[in-house]
């Protein structure tokens, strides 16, 4: 006999997290739990307003699955029950966790993978003034990979200030759709001057055709423009890399399939996250060995992670224990 439940959990952030769309001081997550006998599987998601999600809408979607999941629906069946998004992610990852615990195997074994190892994660700097971002970069300058949240106007100054404060770090910049077509030349020039390794989602999703009409001097990564395999082929001329987030793909099952299709089409892979706990990061660790860039720093931004959280040694993140997930 199975039971499916969902709960809201809130975690304070160590500092305000600011991007082009706004700021927050807490991370509100939804955790799906599937209990079968003595075994329990969990999955965490972060509802995201940019995609029309709220905590209530995600809880309602999970509730709509209760009869099917409690009557034995598996991960394959789940894919057609809900669209890609946070709710399906929580339930999909809970099913992975439950299966691993019932069979006494690790999730990577179930996925047909070799044993996964540690990965170097990016560390995110919130959007701010050039001076405040430089201060944050200086404090994190020993980290090998920094990710800058940008906001449109003034971004070249932010990029230059961070590079001056952290001369040895590899840099990713994330515009969160805040650039416009007439900004591209100036902003890309600032990226070239600062030796930026990757530009993430410079233009709004659906308004990114200009990327296909220009010679991109820095590799460009699709984030809001890609959720799952649907429409991925249409992005080949616009992007060089795709950001795979389980809250977008609707879980690890589709994320693995998206990675396969992305590689087939010639995209590089970036594994990303929302601001959540180690329970949300753990399934994404299965994708880390294939990714050129890993951004699983959510727990580093929290005032306190959940019990049995991932182990971070500086920017090195280690695979999850079975007590946490998988």
Catalytic residue list contains 248:
no
Reduced to 3 states, what is the DSSP secondary structure of residue 246? helix
Cβ–Cβ under 8 Å, residues 277 and 27: yes
How far, in Å, CA of 312 to CA of 318, rounded?
Answer: 6
DSSP letter string over 175-239? -TT---GGGHHHHHHHHHHTT-SEEE--S-TT--GGGGGS--SS-EEESTT-SSSTTGGGGTTT-
Closest by CA position to 294, among listed 284, 283, 302: 284
Catalytic residue selected from 101, 147, 245, 248: 245
How far, in Å, CA of 208 to CA of 320, rounded?
Answer: 37
Catalytic residue selected from 101, 147, 149, 248: 149
Catalytic residue list contains 149:
yes
Residues assigned a catalytic role: 149, 245
């Amino acid at each position: 006999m199975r039971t499916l439940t969902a709960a809201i959990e809130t975690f304070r952030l160590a500092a305000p997290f600011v991007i082009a769309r706004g700021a927050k001081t807490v991370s509100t997550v939804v955790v799906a739990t599937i209990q079968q006998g003595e075994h329990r599987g969990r999955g965490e998601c972060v509802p995201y307003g940019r995609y029309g999600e709220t905590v209530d809408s995600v809880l309602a979607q999970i509730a709509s699955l209760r009869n099917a999941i409690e009557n034995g629906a598996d991960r394959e069946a789940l894919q057609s029950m809900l669209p890609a998004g946070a709710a399906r992610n929580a339930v999909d990852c809970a099913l992975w966790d439950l299966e691993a615990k019932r069979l006494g195997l690790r999730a990577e074994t179930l996925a047909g993978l070799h044993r996964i190892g540690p990965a170097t994660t990016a560390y995110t700097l919130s959007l701010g003034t050039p001076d405040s971002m430089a201060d944050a970069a200086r404090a994190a300058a020993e980290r090998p990979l920094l990710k800058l949240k940008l906001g449109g106007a003034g971004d070249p100054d932010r990029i230059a200030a961070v590079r001056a404060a952290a001369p040895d770090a590899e840099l990713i910049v994330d515009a969160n759709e805040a650039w416009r077509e007439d900004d591209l030349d100036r902003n890309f020039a600032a990226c070239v001057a600062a030796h930026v390794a990757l530009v993430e989602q410079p233009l709004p999703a659906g308004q990114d055709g200009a990327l296909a009409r220009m010679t991109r001097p820095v590799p460009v990564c699709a984030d809001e423009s890609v959720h799952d395999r649907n429409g991925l082929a249409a992005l080949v001329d616009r992007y060089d890399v795709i950001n795979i987030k389980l809250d977008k793909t609707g879980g690890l099952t589709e994320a693995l399939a998206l990675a396969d299709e992305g590689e087939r089409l010639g995209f590089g892979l970036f594994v990303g996250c929302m601001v959540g706990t180690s329970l949300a990061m753990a399934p994404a660790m299965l994708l880390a060995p294939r990714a050129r860039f890993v951004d699983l720093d959510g727990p580093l931004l929290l005032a306190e992670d959940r019990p049995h959280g991932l182990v971070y040694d500086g920017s090195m993140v280690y695979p999850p224990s079975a007590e946490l997930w998988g």
